[in-house]
Structure 1
Amino acid sequence: MDCEGTSRQAQGRVELVASTGDITAQDNESTSSRSDSRERSPTTSCSERDDGLRDYFETAQWTADGTTILTSSSSNIISGYIVPEDLLSPTANRPLKLVPQATIQLPEPSNVLAGAPYFRLAEPWTQQLLVSARDHPIQLFYLSSSSPQAHQKPASSYPLTKARSETFLSATSLVWPGPGTHFVAGSRNLLAKFDVSRAGDEPLLRVKTIPSDRHLSKGGGVGMRGAVSSLAAQPPDGRNASLVAAATWTRWVGLYDFAQSSGACVATWSVARAGTEEAAVGGDGIAQALWSPCGRYLLLGERKSRGVLVYDVRVTGRLLGWLAGRDAGGNQRIACDVFPGQDGAGFEVWSGSTHGNVKVWEGVGTREGAHEPAWGWSGAQRSTVASTCMHQSGAVVATLSGSWEFPDEEDSDGSDESGSDSGSSISSSEAPWMRRQNRESSLKIWSLSNNGYGAASPERVGAGPE
């Protein structure tokens, strides 16, 4: 379905109720009034880099109680946005302004963030999050709105090092499932299980994804090789047992049973043939693994892909179908979200795209083959919608946009034709990454109506589970 058609269907179904506005434009406006160009305003998550570029939002996720949105930015800043109490009030002056109530400056780049599964706004001790920064142990921070600048140091850390040295391994993915006593980190050819209460300790369990990473064959075709790019915990069944799906940039996925003490590997398979031949949606490494609400289906979204692969884990490695028309053509991560369908008819998938559209697939899991989006809308102007997060009430959805653009070589080659001597022309010898520019970056919250779930009361959004 084309973008114009999905936008028409979205009319009357979504309304923008809160937004940060374009944080790159805000920072541009305030630069002239600052004596220090690297000073960051307390009401923005954006800062100016040494090369003059403005940073942008990268990831977003709801906290477990649904009261706060956690974001990370390319300036290594973690921010917490508490949802306004009058978010769905009919008398509110919309869109409301979103301002971070707490920020954490990380020492090194990271796009690995996991909020505590027991996070509750009313109890400050539960407001915890895990991050993994390069050349540092995995760190636990407290997020508090009482003093935004007071929580810059980690409360505890969990070292992940090479077995034969003290060199830190970078955790390239994290999953922190309920009840929250343990978390799992993924690295290159390795999964590690930690006990949250044992700060400073090495992992309780190390699970190699290949038999050996010292042999030239790197596992000899057994297991899955590569950095673990995404981890996802299966929703627990009646026995409270679950699997952890681990996906890699090398286009492999494995299922591991961490309910057992050994972390046994249940299955591994490659998605290369499915993405390239069966679904023909392309792909260049799995950026996100995501379970359906029922825990029966596994969704795998790749970078440089036009779709999302859907697997039924009851038949290991068999492709059930794919979500067509996703439009994730670049290297940037684009995270989607799921929500239960109406009357048990499959489930919904919500995803952004490279060109700023948000698309919704309905009845996923009820059919095989290609599955086209049911509807959608424009979530950003000239920028990638990198995260789409459904609130647990089904009443609102949060979208996060932000990216860089790279001017075409033709534009720079023709910049001198006018004969201008203003000094603004760019040397054709510069590499494209040296000429990149900011696109719009914002966090937005949209209310949903006429979606089959009924309009939720304002108290349901931000109040957390009962």
Structure 2
Amino acid sequence: MFQPKCVASTAAQVSEKSVCDDKVQESPTERFWRSLQWTADGTSLIASLADNSIQTFVVPPDLLDEDQQPHHLSPYCIIPAKEAVNAIAAYPFFDLSNPSTALVLSSMRDHPVRLNSAFSGHLGASYPLINPMTEVYICPHSLHFTPQGDRFIAGSDSLLSVYDLSRPGQEPISSIQTGPKRRTSECNPTTSMRGIVSALAVDPASGLLAAGTFGRQIGLYAGMGQGECVGVFSTRGTAADDQISGSGITQVAWSQDGRYLYIAERKSDGVVIYDIRKTGQLLSWLVGRNAHTNQRVSIALTRINDENLLEVWGGGVDGDMLFQEPRYTTEVPFWQQLLASVILVQTLVKRSLQTN
């Protein structure tokens, strides 16, 4: 069995400084991580932390040099925020050699969506999402770039908003009310969903947007979130729910061929797999992830040897990092344990690294 090896860590006991703020500030090395993303070129990591900051870590060029391992990862840039950062999204064409592409979106309460340089922290643009009745900012709980990188989608309370990246300061070019906000209002459960849109993912081939809510519903929308609702289904009350439970969707991820949707939830012991060709038929689920927490404990999908096969990687509150090769059958496979340490808020896998 493959055994992972730590090649770099942020755990060294040293103080760190922000290079994005004129007032250099010391920050503790003990961090509470909220989310973590690889950049598209595999050279950097972008994280949001509970200290209301976004941090960029550039992977060292000699990362795989065993003589230097484990490397210490220090933040290249720290972007301070005035409020807790609800969501981040790295630009899909992020290129270390081209600073103009080193961009990160973020959302926070009482502010527009922000587009910052991940290397300098400079605020390049902002995109308002305003409640027309109260004229206050709406804070998205999920952000996702379209595959072309010219637009992004923001998910908030029963609302999907699509922005044109080239139109800073402007309102969304498209807004879809996913369902009524008031529980007393009637709605069609097959085409309408209510609640905070907490997870987004677009299938590049079909342009189908999957949007998940904390209310445990999944909505499928054509045209990368600008088209009609194809269908809505729920993870509540299924055979998988009896086995692994869940209390709100925190991540949705497409298989490479766009046939299957992987769904991770908070307070859950696994991951569910749905067949989207049949508009949301439960196909299988993975058991034993032990993510019984309100934190977003995410998963990662990676291809095996350039074949159309996937491994699903994840972590849990016990610190175990696990992986599984899912079988698209009704059999229920268990995860395989690799190691133990601390709560694994995010598990990321990069099969190849471009470190030069």
Shared fold by TM > 0.5?
yes
1:137-286 alignment runs, 5 A limit: 137-144=112-119, 151=121, 154-210=123-179, 212-213=180-181, 216-217=184-185, 219=187, 221=189, 223-234=192-203, 236-237=204-205, 241-259=206-224, 262-274=226-238, 277=241, 280-286=243-249
Specify the alignment match of 2:87 in structure 1: 112
Q: Structure 1 stretches of 5 or more lacking a match?
A: 1-8, 31-38, 48-53, 396-459
Measure, in 1, the Cα distance between the counterparts of 2:68 and 2:31.
Answer: 28
Measure, in 2, the Cα distance between the counterparts of 1:276 and 1:348.
Answer: 20
Measure, in 2, the Cα distance between the counterparts of 1:158 and 1:187.
Answer: 14
Q: Is the 8 A contact 2:146 2:224 kept in 1?
A: no
Once the two structures are superposed, residues 206-231 of structure 1 have per-residue CA deviations (whole angstroms, 9 ceiling, x without a partner) of 01111x43583253645110000111
Q: Is the 8 A contact 2:105 2:116 kept in 1?
A: yes
Specify the alignment match of 1:56 in structure 2: 32
* 3-state SS, counterpart of residue 349 of structure 1: strand
Specify the alignment match of 2:347 in structure 1: 388
Instruction: Report how far residue 40 of structure 1 moved.
Output: 3.9
Q: Is the 8 A contact 1:159 1:200 kept in 2?
A: yes
Q: Does the C-alpha gap of structure 1 residues 203 and 349 become closer, same or farther in structure 2, counting only changes over 3 Å?
A: same
Once the two structures are superposed, residues 136-182 of structure 1 have per-residue CA deviations (whole angstroms, 9 ceiling, x without a partner) of 110100122xxx5xx3x522110011133411111010111222100
Once the two structures are superposed, residues 416-450 of structure 1 have per-residue CA deviations (whole angstroms, 9 ceiling, x without a partner) of xxxxxxxxxxxxxxxxxxxxxxxxxxxxxxxxxxx
Instruction: Report how far residue 102 of structure 1 moved.
Output: 0.9
Instruction: Report how far residue 342 of structure 1 moved.
Output: 4.1
Measure, in 1, the Cα distance between the counterparts of 2:185 and 2:83.
Answer: 33
Counterpart code for 2:181:
D
Specify the alignment match of 1:357 in structure 2: 320
Measure, in 2, the Cα distance between the counterparts of 1:59 and 1:321.
Answer: 26
Q: Is the 8 A contact 1:361 1:375 kept in 2?
A: no
Measure, in 2, the Cα distance between the counterparts of 1:207 and 1:172.
Answer: 15
Instruction: Report how far residue 195 of structure 1 moved.
Output: 0.2
Specify the alignment match of 2:21 in structure 1: none
Specify the alignment match of 1:440 in structure 2: none
Measure, in 1, the Cα distance between the counterparts of 2:95 and 2:51.
Answer: 27
Instruction: Report how far residue 242 of structure 1 moved.
Output: 1.4
1:131-142 alignment runs, 5 A limit: 131-142=106-117
Is 1:371 the counterpart of 2:333? The answer is yes
Once the two structures are superposed, residues 252-275 of structure 1 have per-residue CA deviations (whole angstroms, 9 ceiling, x without a partner) of 001111248x42111101110126
Measure, in 2, the Cα distance between the counterparts of 1:253 and 1:242.
Answer: 16
Instruction: Report how far residue 461 of structure 1 moved.
Output: 3.1
Is 1:327 the counterpart of 2:303? The answer is no
> Which structure: larger Rg?
1
Counterpart code for 1:14:
P
Over the aligned positions, Cα root-mean-square deviation in angstroms equals 2.3
* 3-state SS, counterpart of residue 283 of structure 2: strand
Counterpart code for 1:258:
G
Specify the alignment match of 2:269 in structure 1: 306
Is 1:81 the counterpart of 2:57? The answer is yes
Counterpart code for 2:332:
A
* 3-state SS, counterpart of residue 82 of structure 2: coil
Specify the alignment match of 1:20 in structure 2: 10
Once the two structures are superposed, residues 236-264 of structure 1 have per-residue CA deviations (whole angstroms, 9 ceiling, x without a partner) of 22xxx41111000011001111248x421
Counterpart code for 2:136:
T
- Range moving further from structure 2, 301-310 or 221-230: 221-230
Q: Does the C-alpha gap of structure 1 residues 343 and 71 become closer, same or farther in structure 2, counting only changes over 3 Å?
A: closer
Specify the alignment match of 1:347 in structure 2: 310
Q: TM-score normalized by structure 2?
A: 0.91
Specify the alignment match of 1:121 in structure 2: 96
Counterpart code for 1:302:
E
Counterpart code for 1:18:
A
Is 1:97 the counterpart of 2:72? The answer is yes
Measure, in 2, the Cα distance between the counterparts of 1:88 and 1:317.
Answer: 41
Counterpart code for 1:86:
D
- Range moving further from structure 2, 264-273 or 213-222: 213-222
Counterpart code for 1:15:
K
- Range moving further from structure 2, 313-322 or 219-228: 219-228
Q: Is the 8 A contact 2:4 2:338 kept in 1?
A: no
* 3-state SS, counterpart of residue 212 of structure 2: strand
Instruction: Report how far residue 330 of structure 1 moved.
Output: 1.1
* 3-state SS, counterpart of residue 348 of structure 2: strand
Counterpart code for 2:62:
D
Q: Which has the higher strand share?
A: 2
Instruction: Report how far residue 360 of structure 1 moved.
Output: 0.5
Measure, in 2, the Cα distance between the counterparts of 1:121 and 1:154.
Answer: 18
Measure, in 2, the Cα distance between the counterparts of 1:227 and 1:353.
Answer: 24
* 3-state SS, counterpart of residue 237 of structure 2: helix
Q: Does the C-alpha gap of structure 1 residues 275 and 188 become closer, same or farther in structure 2, counting only changes over 3 Å?
A: farther
1:393-408 alignment runs, 5 A limit: 394-395=351-352
Once the two structures are superposed, residues 315-352 of structure 1 have per-residue CA deviations (whole angstroms, 9 ceiling, x without a partner) of 12211000111110111110111011347463110101
Identity, % of aligned positions? 34
Q: Structure 2 stretches of 5 or more lacking a match?
A: 17-23
Q: Is the 8 A contact 1:218 1:225 kept in 2?
A: no
Aligned length: 349
Measure, in 1, the Cα distance between the counterparts of 2:176 and 2:327.
Answer: 31
Measure, in 1, the Cα distance between the counterparts of 2:64 and 2:103.
Answer: 27
